[in-house]
Amino acid sequence: MEKLTVAVIFGSRSAEHDVSIITGISIIKALDLSGKYESVPIYIDKKGRWFSANELKDIALFSSGRIEGFLNKQKPILIKVGDGLQLMKQGLKPKLLNIDVVFPATHGTHGEDGELMGLLEMANIPYVGCDVPSSAIAMDKALAKIISQSQGILTSKFVWFYADEFNNSQKQIITRLKELKYPLFVKPVHLGSSIAISRVKDESELINAIEVAAHYDNKIIVEEAVNSLIEVTVPIVGNESLQLALVEQPLTTADNFFDFDTKYIRGGGKKSNGGGKQTGAQGYSKLPADLPKELYLLAENTAKDVYKAIGCSGIARIDLLIDSKAEKVYFNEINPLPGSLYAHNWREAGKSTVNLVSELVDLAKEKHQKKQRLQTVFDTNYLKQY
Ligand SMILES: Nc1ncnc2c1ncn2[C@@H]1O[C@H](COP(=O)(O)OP(=O)(O)O)[C@@H](O)[C@H]1O
Ligand SMILES: [Mg+2]
């Protein structure tokens, strides 16, 4: 059987550019190991130029800093979008390469937010993971909460507003925020990695925290803190029928909540020290989470409900905040593309990374085939009157 050509797209104009390189290359490795696919790396640099070359499969090219010099000698590729997607390498003899499936590995803006998925929809090509609306909703912490809430899923009480509204009528916004009980979390709705997030104890800290968030985003959410906090995250794979990995518990406290450093730098450098503790994309964690059986089940069911409410497909990871005293599970946020696919958790749950990527490619094809069966062409007499 002929091998499927799978293009893995990573990098892009995002604060999470570097993390995406790790995710992209880990996916390529697993696709190559499977022996079933011809993997094609597509790297979008920080300026937004698209490149493709076999050398881009090597993490050392990036970690050594040689990437700059390498790209200077390369010509960006051209992408042909029509019925399908083709990649064209520029040169004396331009070559067209047909892509069968795309595996997006871009985190954050200009990728995970649905923009890339829009291009892939236009090309009518199968691609792994969430579609345009679900990716876009996931990228907005307020929208994701509003939609989940409307489906009966619990979220902590929140108020959202535009930065402009705050700048123009601060008093009104502060009055609206009086309905919330301190401590509060102030967050830009579109960012990740705890950038510009503050925990505030009282009104004296509130304005400054909002100003910081408004510096980064045009939309802000302020929400009540969950007490007696146990944070968990639930990786899910599937289209209609869902598979869950283990409910994972990142080991942090409310005071020392995740920052970029904890997530990607300190955590990554430490070794797992046994006792169910793992180091993944998010540093130390307990796998599975240390929860009473009923709360564990409730977390699983809440995660499934969120996945469905937001309309995810392929893969996503749902972050939950648990009030361990009140035994309540609150939806916090959703990641359509978990860092490195959260492969460490799937492995622990019994799914190798090779099987994980193969299943994701199959799910992408299945979703695409199903969509082809929907009628998109309608014959009308409309034009005859002109
Ligand atoms: N409502 C809340 N109650 C308690 N802790 C929270 C709340 N919101 C956020 N946090 C803490 O802040 C961290 C970062 O917030 P989060 O919404 O997950 O943003 P990010 O996109 O940066 O991951 C969470 O992992 C959690 O530790
Ligand atoms: Mg988070």
Q: What is the pLDDT of residues 10-31, one digit of tens each?
A: 999 988 899 999 999 999 999 9
Structure confidence at residue 261 (pLDDT): 53
CB of 332 sitting under 6 A from ligand 1: yes
CB 10 within 8 A of CB 26: no
Q: In the predicted model, is pLDDT for residue 378 greater than 80?
A: yes
Tens of pLDDT, residue by residue over 324-368, are 999 999 999 999 999 999 999 999 999 999 999 999 999 999 999
Closest C-alpha residue for ligand 1 atom 12: 257
Q: What is the CA radius of gyration of the chain?
A: 22
CB-ligand 1 contact for 300 (6 Å cutoff): no
Which ligand approaches the C-alpha of residue 221 most closely? 1
Confidence (pLDDT) at 209: 97
Q: 141-150 and 293-310 are packed helices; what angle lies between their axes, rounded to 10 degrees?
A: 110
d(CA 304, CA 326): 21
Model-wide pTM > 0.85: yes
- Nearest residue (CA) to ligand 1, atom 16: 194
CA gap 128, 130 in Å, rounded: 7
Residue type, 360: L
Q: pLDDT tens digits for 172-189?
A: 999 999 999 999 999 999
Shortest-distance atom of ligand 1 to CA 225: 3
Among 242-246, 270-274, 370-374, the minimum mean pLDDT is found in: 270-274
Task: Specify the pLDDT at position 283.
Answer: 61
Structure-block tokens of residue 308: 């469905």
Q: Is the pLDDT score of 263 beyond 80?
A: no
- What is the structure's pLDDT at 276? 55
**pLDDT > 90: what percent of the chain?**
83
Measured in whole angstroms, the distance separating CA 108 from the mean position of its chain's CA atoms is 7
Phi, psi values for residue 242, rounded to 5°: -105, 140
**Are the C-beta atoms of residues 142 and 219 closer than 8 Å to each other?**
yes
The residue assigned the tokens 């409910």 is 247
> CB burial class (10 A; 0-12, 13-18, 19+) of residue 264?
buried
Nearest atom in ligand 1 to 141's CA: 17
Task: Return the H-helix or E-strand segment holding 37.
Answer: strand 37-44
- Residue ranges and CATH numbers for the domains of the chain are 4-128 (3.40.50.20), 157-224 (3.30.1490.20), 229-371 (3.30.470.20)
Name the closest ligand to CA 250: 1
b or e along 349-386 (b: 16 or more beta carbons within 10 Å of the residue's beta carbon)?
bebebbebbbbbbebbbebeeeeeeeeeeeeeeeeeee
Average pLDDT on 118-140 reads 97
pLDDT of the residue at 168: 97
